[in-house]
Structure formats: structure tokens, C-alpha cells
Amino acid sequence: MTSVDTERSITVTVNGVPRKATLPVRRLLSDALRHDLGLTGTHVGCEHGVCGACTVLVDGTPVRSCLVFAVQVDGASVTTVEGLARDDHQGGQVLHPVQEAFRECHALQCGFCTPGFLVTIAAGLEARDRSAEITEEEVDEIVGGNLCRCTGYANIKKAVRHAAAAMRPAEADHTGHFGGGDGAW
């Protein structure tokens, strides 16, 4: 018989680390990440799916974490903005090319919407054919579901183009930005 619960214990792999939590079934994934797991990089804006600030990857796919219950990702793998940078194997971290591009292009001002943009753009750029030059239509489609209220979109879109160039495989890279991408991301 199916159990009907008000509380559940779940195990979720967050940024590569298995995490356990016992929480009310009504807990949104966004709140579980922030309050139960202490990962406050994921921001909560509108809480009804419009702004995109809370976007995370569930099994590699971008979703609004405010539109998923934490119990629904039991057993799944979640990547938040904290999981974008990589270990440099020298005790530090290497920013994701999208994070580098945001810094380079001044694509953030107050930073509230930034985690959602970073996660969405990283997934969008990783899913596309990286050897092809990115089109304006692709850029618009990637960032079109996220709201920014202060930076403006011009520099965010510029950062998408920069990151796409940095992520091109070395043989296809003609820009030299970021020392040339090795396609490893």
C-alpha cells in the first residue's frame, strides 16, 4: 500500500555530495536547498516560476526549484550555482566559463538574479553544439526565461556570447578569449 505522508526523509546528491534531509512534504526544493542544506546561493525571487532566480539543474536539466517539492528529487542529482566552479586540484577552484564571462563583461550588478542566470546559461551552453558560433536567437532563448531588474540584459547577453566562445573546442576556437576553451566544461 502506498504511504501517505506529511514528512519524508530524502537523499539527494547535491553538487556531487550525497545529502540527507528529513523535511515536511510541502517544502519547496528552493527552500530545502537554502534552509535545510544551507546552500544559500540559490535565490528565491517570485516563488511562482516567473523570475528564474531559483533555477537549478535536476539530473542535468534546468528547472525552477520553487516549482518542485524537495521530496520529488529524492534519489536525484541536483546542481546549484555552488556546483558550477571546479576544483583546480591545488586547493582552489576554477570558475565556470560562464562565471568568468559574467565577471569579464560586468553582467551582474546587485547579483540577486545571477545564480539563476549562471545555472541556466551553463546548462544551455553545455547542451548546444559547441563548435558552432552562437546565434542571437540562441542567446535570447537561453536567457529569455530569467528576469534581471538592474544590470540590464545587454551585458548578460554579451557574457553568454563570451562564454560560448570560451567553451568552443580548441580546434574550433578562433577568439583567444579566456586563453581558448578546451571544451572540458
Partner 1 sequence: MKPAPFRYADPGSLDEALDVLAAEGDGAKVLAGGQSLIPLLSMRLAAPATLVDINRVPGLDGVEATGDGVRVGALVRHAALLHDDAAARVQPLLARATANVAHPAIRNRGTTVGSIAHADPSGEMTSVLALTDGSVTVATPAGRSTVGWRDLFVGPLETSVHGPAVVVDAFFPALAPRSGTAFAEVARRKGDYAVCGAGVVVTLDADRRVEAVRASYISVGLVPEVVDLTEAVHGRPVDAADWAAAGELARTLVDPDGDLHASADYRRLLVGVLTERTLGTAAAEALERTAA
- Shortest approach of partner 1 to residue 87 CB, angstroms? 27
Residues whose CB falls within 8 Å of the CB of residue 99, separated by 6 or more in sequence, listed in order: 84, 85, 118
Helix axes 153-166, 114-127, angle to 10 degrees: 40
Could you give the CA distance from residue 37 to residue 23 in angstroms, rounded to a whole number? 11
* Cβ atoms of residues 119 and 62 within 8 Å: yes
- Shortest approach of partner 1 to residue 54 CB, angstroms? 10
Exactly one of 61, 93, 131, 135 binds partner 1 (CB under 8 A); which one? 61
- Shortest approach of partner 1 to residue 144 CB, angstroms? 5
Any idea which residue has 528564474 for its cell?
52
**Stretch 90-129: interaction string toward partner 1, x if CB under 8 A:** ------------------------------x---x-----
Find how far residue 114's CA is from the centre of its chain: 9
Q: Footprint of partner 1 on residues 127-166 (CB under 8 A)?
A: 140-142, 144-145
Q: Footprint of partner 1 on residues 12-41 (CB under 8 A)?
A: 24-26, 28, 31
Residue 20, C-alpha cell as written in the block: 540527507
Residues whose CB falls within 8 Å of the CB of residue 53, separated by 6 or more in sequence, listed in order: 43, 44, 45, 46, 112, 113, 115, 116, 146, 147
* CB nearer partner 1, residue 34 or residue 177: 34
Asked if 50 is part of the footprint of partner 1 (rule: CB under 8 A), the reply reads yes
Exactly one of 67, 150, 154, 170 binds partner 1 (CB under 8 A); which one? 67
* CB nearer partner 1, residue 48 or residue 89: 48
Q: Beta-carbon neighbour count of residue 25 at 10 Å?
A: 14
Exactly one of 36, 42, 52, 79 binds partner 1 (CB under 8 A); which one? 52
Binding stretches for partner 1 (CB under 8 A) = 1-6, 8, 24-26, 28, 31, 47-50, 52, 55, 61-64, 66-69, 71-72, 120, 124, 140-142, 144-145
